[in-house]
Amino acid sequence: MDLTYTQEERDFRARLREWLGKTLPELPAKPSPDDWPGRRAYDAGWQRRLYDAGYAGLHWPVDAGGRGATPTQHLIFLEETERAGAPYVGANFVGLLHAGPTIAAEGTAAQRARWLPPVLRGDEVWCQGFSEPGAGSDLAALRTRAVRDGDDYVITGSKIWTSHAEVADWCELLVRTEPVSEAVPKHRGITWLAMPMDAPGVTVRPLRTLAGSAEFAEVFLDEVRVPVANRVGDENDGWRVTMVTLSFERGTAFVGEVVACRRTLGELARTAKANGRWDDPVLRRRLGRLYGEFGALWRLTQWNVSASEASGGVPGVGGSVFKLAYSHARQELYDTAAEVLGADSLALDGEWALDRLSSLSYTIAAGTSQIQRNIVAERILGLPKGR
């Protein structure tokens, strides 16, 4: 098997590297971490540059407005943008990595035409309205109700941990359209809707995290009317559509961060050599093991991206293997950073401390590690479900 890059792929890398070299120095200064309107504008500006240059939606199919690039070109893009220190998707991550791919896979032609181009251009930002106070890991226990009234659904309930809700235009929203009963198990009766965030009855209350940021929010819904035309998939078929969304979230949404962690690991090794910590053989072994682990995760990323291409663009359950391993590797990376940096890692105004605090959330976000282990056990290993 020939694993070398083709000439076309080498040319793609060279063009991208040249474009990044010209474009990145022209970017404005990054706004304050607490300035979410400013961060949205910054992220949208970067996305528009990608769109104009032909690099937006590389991993999306052509009929969804994407560029139809090969999996290898997609991975080259991630490698080069991360190596150059280019902005990541930021406030656009739900639209670009979750909602957009879901609509591309499950939406009608009219829905694709309405929602996908603005996402690719950076014109519209999405948030995710899945989790509720009583339905986090057990997402199927959600209670937000949607009652059909003519051509609308009337929605009442609340959501929590809604990323970027305060600056979002749209929300990928899960609602219950049929109550749970003996005849209707809780995984059924759920519907996936696209809700405009400026609809009457929507209230957003930001939540401040342990790191001091406010990228999450509570969202309260008081008889919010959403057109039936905004439903993606059939009524009561939302759980299946949600599995498509979660496969993107777990399978391909973190790939850029693996590259970032590998770069961070290199910085740690250089710092350890400079401050004398490299003399500790236990620390060296730990850094070496992490190097091997993130190298393996990158190979798994390559496999997952290729597998998703072969299956029509939707990642499979292998994404849960990646999510489980990556979450724990990231936490160990920043635990190791604390060993290398010592007291400097505790400065709350420093990047290392904030990244370490952020790493603690990764075993919860996008499905807890316990949930991922169940998925791996049942859907990959074929083990029986617990009773």
Q: How far is CA 290 from the centre of its chain?
A: 23
Q: Nearest to residue 156, comparing CAs of 170, 169, 138, 143? A: 143
Residues forming beta bridges with residue 171, ordered by sequence position: 127, 195
Q: What is the DSSP string of 207-244?
A: E--TTS---EEEEEEEEEEEEGGGEESSTT-HHHHHHH
Q: Closest Cα to residue 44, out of 54, 33, 56? A: 56
Q: Structure tokens of 247?
A: 């496969």
Which residues, listed in sequence order, are joined to residue 221 by a DSSP beta bridge? Answer: 157, 202
DSSP output for 128-174: EE--BTTBSSSGGG---EEEEETTEEEEEEEE-S-TTGGG-SEEEEE
Contact between 192 and 232 under an 8 Å Cβ cutoff? The reply is yes
Q: Does residue 249 carry a catalytic annotation?
A: yes
Residue type for position 319: G
Angle at 313 between CA 300 and CA 55, to 5 degrees: 85
User: Rounded to an integer, what is the distance from CA 349 to the centroid of its chain?
Assistant: 25
Alpha-carbon distance of 187 to 7, in angstroms, equals: 48
Per the residue annotation, which of 80, 82, 249, 293 is the catalytic one?
249
DSSP state of 69: -
Tell me the two tokens of residue 78: 């991630």
Nearest to 168, CA basis, from 213, 224, 215, 124: 124
- For the annotated catalytic residues, the residue numbers are 249
